[in-house]
């Protein structure tokens, strides 16, 4: 998008020229009316480059609400598993935009699907039917336990829809009850979103406490505590159980088959719904199309989002016919959800990831990389455990992971934290090569000594 000082605004706003320079194959261009001298220039190019990121960061702090503690990195482009900052530095991306860019950056089929659809029809609202929405829904149903799909715009919106669907299902199933089951179970270390309903289902107190009171009726139990969960479900007060088959934000913890099967059995007995949150762990991330497939235990509702549209905002709630039969016109809705543009992107993503050969490659690379990390990092005194499935991997440390994450960034590798800040979260694009995984392991090994320095302070 090009900004011009001549743009008119509804309120007075003075645009000051800003030194944002963009380098492309040696050519220098400027945004806004900034004079740039290239040949024969006496300006210090290095100085200008150093100034660029600092100015953008300063403007962000001035104009954007301060909800993000961002890394001091201004990214401008990407291709495959590589990202580039505004100074032209290259980074190997093992974050995928927090498990979003499953096909990496600039996947040709994805770009083609988006540009072709944008040229035809982008948005019409859900007042009308649109072909890409129906086609994506058909694909999701054909590849899952579900019979129907509700589209929304994010993971937290998917959680909100699942909450409403569960409440409505219980009212529909218990028409003579003055107080049908309305409570919810969730688990320690879980993360289900930041809007008010989803926030109430998120276990970390520091997320919830500034916004109390949140939605009442939520009980948090120890992740994996089968006995406590079964007892709570059998109380008859619980409308739905929300659980991540693999916890991402919580620190890359995997459920056991026995735990999920016990939840499934108890839910069936009591009439409670089982909801899987696969916003981060679903859609190929584990080497299975859906993370729960590795357990063979299926839900009534599943929430999806992050990778589904390859970087465009989308969410989806997959439900059985039994749940869908309780939902009526007007019970829920969204203006933007399931528009032709995001659904065309979703079709491109799902078609590629659902290919058995693609999924097999994720499995293979996940095993290879985990073994490599164990070999290269496992002997370090600060590394407590390396865990995960497929290409969602956590490296748990006995100290904060932040110094290691920062050192990796300075060395050209992007990774995330998770858990209590002591887990390195690795969620690369699913297309990553073994050579890139080897490079990532080498950088992690090289940067490990910063943990000794940090722990000695």
Q: Give first-to-last CA distance, the chain, whole Å.
A: 45
Written as tens digits, the pLDDT of the chain (457 aa) is 443 433 443 444 444 444 443 434 344 333 333 333 333 444 444 454 455 899 999 999 999 999 999 999 999 999 999 999 999 999 999 999 999 999 999 999 999 999 999 999 999 999 999 999 999 999 999 999 999 999 999 999 999 999 999 999 999 999 999 999 999 999 999 999 999 999 999 999 999 999 999 999 999 999 999 999 999 999 999 999 999 999 999 999 999 999 999 999 999 999 999 999 999 999 999 999 999 999 999 999 999 999 999 999 999 999 999 999 999 999 999 999 999 999 999 999 999 999 999 999 999 999 999 999 999 999 999 999 999 999 999 999 999 999 999 999 999 999 999 999 999 999 999 999 999 999 999 999 999 999 998 766 6
CA-CA-CA-CA torsion for 343, 348, 354, 359, nearest 10 degrees? -130
Single pTM value for the model: 0.89
* C-alpha–C-alpha distance, residues 149 and 301, integer Å: 10
263: tokens are: 């939840």
The DSSP annotation for 181-233 comes to --EEEEETT----SSHHHHHT---HHHHGGG-S--S-EEEE-TT-HHHHHHHH
DSSP 256: P
The kind and range of the H/E element at 82 are strand 82-85
* C-alpha–C-alpha distance, residues 294 and 242, integer Å: 18
């Amino acid at each position: 998008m090009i900004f011009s000082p001549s743009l008119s605004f509804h309120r007075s706003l003075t645009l000051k020229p800003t030194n944002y320079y963009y380098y492309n194959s040696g050519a220098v261009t400027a945004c806004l009316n900034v004079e740039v001298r290239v040949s024969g220039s006496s300006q210090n190019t290095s100085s200008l480059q150093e100034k660029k990121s600092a100015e953008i960061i300063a403007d962000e702090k001035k104009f954007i609400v301060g909800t993000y503690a961002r890394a001091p990195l201004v990214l401008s482009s990407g291709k495959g598993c590589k990202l580039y900052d505004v100074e032209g530095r290259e980074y190997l991306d093992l974050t995928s935009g927090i498990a979003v860019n499953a096909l990496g950056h600039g996947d040709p089929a994805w770009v083609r699907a988006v540009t072709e659809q944008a040229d035809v029809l982008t948005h019409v609202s859900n007042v009308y039917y649109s072909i890409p929405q129906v086609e994506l829904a058909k694909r999701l149903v054909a590849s899952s336990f579900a019979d129907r799909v509700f589209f929304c715009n994010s993971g937290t919106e998917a959680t909100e829809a699942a909450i409403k669907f569960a409440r409505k299902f219980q009212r529909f199933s218990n028409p003579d009850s003055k107080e049908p089951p309305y409570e919810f179970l969730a688990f320690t270390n879980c993360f289900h979103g930041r809007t008010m309903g989803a926030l109430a289902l998120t276990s970390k107190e520091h997320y919830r406490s500034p916004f109390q009171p949140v939605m009442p009726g939520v009980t948090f139990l120890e992740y994996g505590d089968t006995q406590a969960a079964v007892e709570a479900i059998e109380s008859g007060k619980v409308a739905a159980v929300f659980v991540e088959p693999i916890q991402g934000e919580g620190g890359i913890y995997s459920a056991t088959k026995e735990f999920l099967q016990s939840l499934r059995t108890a839910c069936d007995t009591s009439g409670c719904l089982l909801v899987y949150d696969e916003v981060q762990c679903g859609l190929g991330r584990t080497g299975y199309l859906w993370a729960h497939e590795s357990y063979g235990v299926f839900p009534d509702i599943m929430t999806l989002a992050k990778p589904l549209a390859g970087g465009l905002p989308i969410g989806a709630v997959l439900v059985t016919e039994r749940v869908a039969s309780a939902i009526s016109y007007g019970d829920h809705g969204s203006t933007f959800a399931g528009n032709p543009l995001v659904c065309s992107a979703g079709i491109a993503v799902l078609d590629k990831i659902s290919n058995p050969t693609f999924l097999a490659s994720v499995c293979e690379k996940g095993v290879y990389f985990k073994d490599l990390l164990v070999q290269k990092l496992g002997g370090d005194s600060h590394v407590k455990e390396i865990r995960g499935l497929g290409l969602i991997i956590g490296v748990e440390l006995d100290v904060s992971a932040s110094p290691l994450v920062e050192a990796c960034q300075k060395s050209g590798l992007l990774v995330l934290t998770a858990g209590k800040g002591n887990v390195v979260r690795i969620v690369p694009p699913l297309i990553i090569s073994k050579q890139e995984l080897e490079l990532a392991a080498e950088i992690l090994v090289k940067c490990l000594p910063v943990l000794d320095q940090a722990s000695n302070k």
